[in-house]
């Protein structure tokens, strides 16, 4: 503990103004000089504590950040392989969706009875647009290209369908 205190005092006295104030107090032993020296040391010590705290926080946060980055990188590794055998064994997304009995019909994905009843009141075109928008996650422009209609028609049909669902 003594070496720690000595280090702080030595660092404090490294400043020429503080050293000059300390030397003046040593010579005169005046109370005003002592109070001024104490005040300067308190300011210095507060700065020292603040810097020490910030260093510790930065150290901790940098370790925490590094840990998170390493964890992310280990979970999300990019594996590149020139082995075509591996690629042949990978199933296409359409094969996977067939295996999971994937349905693009929006009514097959609804679990709420009230919502299912509301959706059943929509026209076939509105159901198709809602399915493409919310099940296939297509944009209005993509839906318009797919259905060979304008983007504005898709937007209007979708907003009418949502309005119809809200009303019922």
List, for residues 57-83, the tens digit of each pLDDT value.
888 898 889 888 888 888 777 666 555
Q: Which residues of 30-51 are buried (b: 16+ CB within 10 A; e: fewer)?
A: eeebeeebeebbeebeeeeeee
What integer best gives the mean pLDDT of the chain?
81
- In this prediction, residue 109 carries a pLDDT of 79
Q: Is 165 exposed, middle or buried (0-12, 13-18, 19+ CB in 10 A)?
A: middle
Please give the torsion angle defined by the CA atoms of residues 95, 96, 101 and 106, in that order, rounded to the nearest 10 degrees.
-100
Same domain, 14 and 59: yes
Of 76 and 18, more confident: 18
Give the tens place of pLDDT for each residue, 77-109.
Answer: 766 655 554 445 444 444 444 444 567 788 887
- Please compute the mean of the pLDDT values over residues 118-146 and round it to a whole number: 90
Here the tokens at position 106 are 């929006």
Here the tokens at position 120 are 């059943």
Angle at 33 between CA 51 and CA 29, to 5 degrees: 125
> Domain total for the chain?
2
Per-residue confidence band for 2, with pLDDT thresholds at 50, 70 and 90: low
Q: Which residues are CB-neighbours of 36 under 8 A, at least 6 positions away? A: 21
First vs last C-alpha separation in the chain? 76
Q: Is residue 40 part of a domain?
A: yes
Same domain, 135 and 71: no
Q: Is residue 80 part of a domain?
A: no
- Among 22, 56, 75, give the residue marking a domain's end: 75
């Amino acid at each position: 503990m003594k070496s720690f205190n000595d280090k702080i005092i030595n660092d404090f006295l490294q400043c020429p103004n503080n050293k000059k104030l300390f030397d003046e107090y040593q010579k005169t032993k005046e109370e005003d000089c002592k109070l001024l020296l104490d005040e300067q040391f308190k300011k210095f010590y507060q700065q020292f504590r603040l810097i020490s705290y910030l260093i510790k926080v930065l150290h901790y946060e940098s370790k925490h950040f590094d840990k998170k980055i390493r964890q992310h990188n280990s979970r999300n590794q990019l594996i590149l392989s020139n082995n075509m055998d591996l690629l042949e064994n990978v199933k296409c997304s359409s094969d996977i969706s067939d295996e999971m009995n994937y349905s693009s019909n929006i009514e097959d994905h609804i679990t709420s009875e009230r919502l299912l009843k509301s959706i059943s009141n929509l026209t076939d075109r509105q159901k198709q647009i809602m399915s493409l928008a919310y099940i296939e996650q297509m944009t209005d422009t993509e839906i318009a290209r797919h259905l060979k209609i304008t983007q504005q028609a898709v937007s209007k049909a979708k907003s009418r369908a949502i309005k119809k669902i809200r009303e019922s």
